[in-house]
Amino acid sequence: MHSEYDSLGESGLQFFGKVSASIAHEIKNVLAIINENAGLLEDLTFAAQKGAAIDPDRLNRVCLQFNKQILRADEILKNMSRFAHSVDRFEGQVDLHELAVLVSNLAGRPAAMRKLSIVVEPPATPIIAKNNPFLVQNLIWLCLESAFGATTAGGTLRLAAERNDGRSGLRICGIDGLTEDFAAQLPAVCADLLDASGAKLIVDSVKKDLNLVLT
Amino acid sequence: MSEKILMIDDEEDFLSVMSERMEARNMVVTTASSPLEGLEKAAAGSFDVVILDLMMPGMDGIQALRILKEKNPDLEVILLTGHATIKQGIEAMKLGALDLLEKPADLNELTEKIHAAQAKKMVIAEKKNEERIKKILMEKGW
């Protein structure tokens, strides 16, 4: 890969912005549920002050909601933290499965908007590549975004990190509308990212697979 | 008089607690957890106000708002969303949304908007009745 490449650049900033906006939306939804449950407690307290009995089961359900939403927010923020720290090092050992899990979690909402599911299948042994983690994440994100547009609503995209012929890669399966010219339809910046990370994209329009091959 | 509300949001935990709180404030609340379900319920029932999430799977809130307004231009719609760009806000207002609130919202503020929406709906209904009566009077020549 090119050591002089600006891994952030305009595309990197756009990627960062999209992920941040999606996370902000998720967190707002969590806060809205916590806010309404806190409001419900206020309503119940007000009613109790007027002499109404409080149902302990109702209080317990509110507590369960608080716990559920706190766990949800914690998971969102863990992903955000992992993502934010991916720019800490320019180059390093990248665990492709872990990276695929992170990007698929970050892309969960855009996928859900199109009624798509993402499944990341774990490899038998870790698939490691030496590369720039942020660049590889950006490439996976762009591939997924384009794959969303080429997959019928209700479909499932399957991601699998694998090693073939001495090269590590990530296969995205289940893109039912995948055609030979898929790579040409990717954003122009994809070519720069592929060049900078020493990666290539292989389209299999028969199997409906997209393979992102790293070194 | 109780306001009849239709809430459309893909967050079911939000719908559940929100409707409970609104019902405690003497509103009659129907919920839908998808835009399609919401459009079906809007077509089947009569509502004073629709509270609509802007970002939902399958169809975004702007698209749902457009369909709601095409089918019933007098329907009052308040958008309630976790994330809205200025562009989306302007588009929603152009399509006839009454207001746009960001989550987490203040229920008192939302209740005021609902009261305002119902009052506006009543004024429109009265005006339509008045026009209908005028038309009858003109036609009959009384």
What CATH number has the domain bearing residue B91?
A: 3.40.50.2300
In tens, the pLDDT along A171-189 reads: 999 999 999 888 888 888 8
Q: Say whether B82 and A21 touch across the interface (CB within 8 A).
A: no
DSSP A172-211: EE--TT--TTHHHHS-THHHHHHHHHT-EEEEETTTTEEE
Work out the angle at residue A167's Cα, subtended by the Cα atoms of residues A164 and A172, and round it to the nearest 5 degrees: 65
Sheet containing A117-121, strands listed edge to edge, beginning at the edge strand earlier in sequence: A117-121, A156-164, A167-173, A209-213, A200-204
How near does any CA of chain A get to the CA of B132, in Å? 43
Q: Is B81 left (phi over 0), alpha (psi -120 to 50) or beta?
A: beta
Q: Over range A110-118, report the average pLDDT.
A: 93
Taking the C-alpha atoms of residue B19 and residue A37, their distance in angstroms, rounded to an integer, is: 11
Residue of A24, A43, A69 lying closest to B83 (CB–CB):
A24
pLDDT at A6: 64
Asked if the model's pLDDT at residue A2 lies above 80, the reply is: no
In tens, the pLDDT along B77-121 reads: 999 988 777 888 889 999 999 999 999 999 999 999 999 888 887
Q: Which domain holds residue B87?
A: 4-140
Q: Say whether B57 and A25 touch across the interface (CB within 8 A).
A: no
φ/ψ of B102, rounded to 5, equals -95, 140
Residue A157: which of A188, A197, A112, A193 has the closest Cα? A112
Asked if the model's pLDDT at residue B60 lies above 80, the reply is: yes
Q: Residue A95 is inside which H or E element, if any? A: strand A92-95
Q: Over range A99-109, report the average pLDDT.
A: 95
Residue A172: which of A88, A93, A107, A77 has the closest Cα? A107
- For residue A36, the chain B residues in CB contact (below 8 A) are 14, 17-18, 21, 104, 107
Chain B 10-29, residues with CB within 8 Å of chain A CB atoms = 11, 13-14, 17-18, 20-21, 24
Q: Within 10 Å of residue A55's Cβ, how many Cβ atoms?
A: 10
- Chain A contact probe: residue of B17, B20, B80, B81 with most A CBs at under 10 A: B17
Pairing of strands B49-52, B4-8: parallel
DSSP state of A1: -
Taking the C-alpha atoms of residue A213 and residue A124, their distance in angstroms, rounded to an integer, is: 18
Pairing of strands B76-81, B99-102: parallel
How near does any CA of chain B get to the CA of A40, in Å? 6
Chain-centroid distance of CA B67 in Å reads: 12
pLDDT at B138: 82
DSSP state of A167: E
- Kindly give, in sequence order, each residue whose CB lies less than 8 Å from that of residue A22, ignoring residues fewer than 6 positions away: A106, A109, A110
Taking the C-alpha atoms of residue A158 and residue A189, their distance in angstroms, rounded to an integer, is: 24
Q: Over range B63-73, report the average pLDDT.
A: 94
Domain count, chain B: 1
Q: Over range B23-43, report the average pLDDT.
A: 96
Which residue in this structure is represented by tokens 């009613």? A47
Model confidence band, residue A92 (pLDDT cutoffs 50, 70, 90): confident
DSSP state of A87: G
Q: Say whether A113 and B17 touch across the interface (CB within 8 A).
A: no
Q: Say whether A43 and B57 touch across the interface (CB within 8 A).
A: no
Counted across chains A and B, CB pairs separated by less than 8 A come out at: 60
Asked if the model's pLDDT at residue A4 lies above 60, the reply is: no
pLDDT at B84: 74
Task: Compute CA distances B48 → A142, B1, B55, B76, B113, whole Å.
Answer: 43, 11, 22, 7, 12
- For residue B20, the chain A residues in CB contact (below 8 A) are 40
In tens, the pLDDT along A7-29 reads: 567 888 899 999 999 999 999 99
Q: Say whether B14 and A32 touch across the interface (CB within 8 A).
A: yes
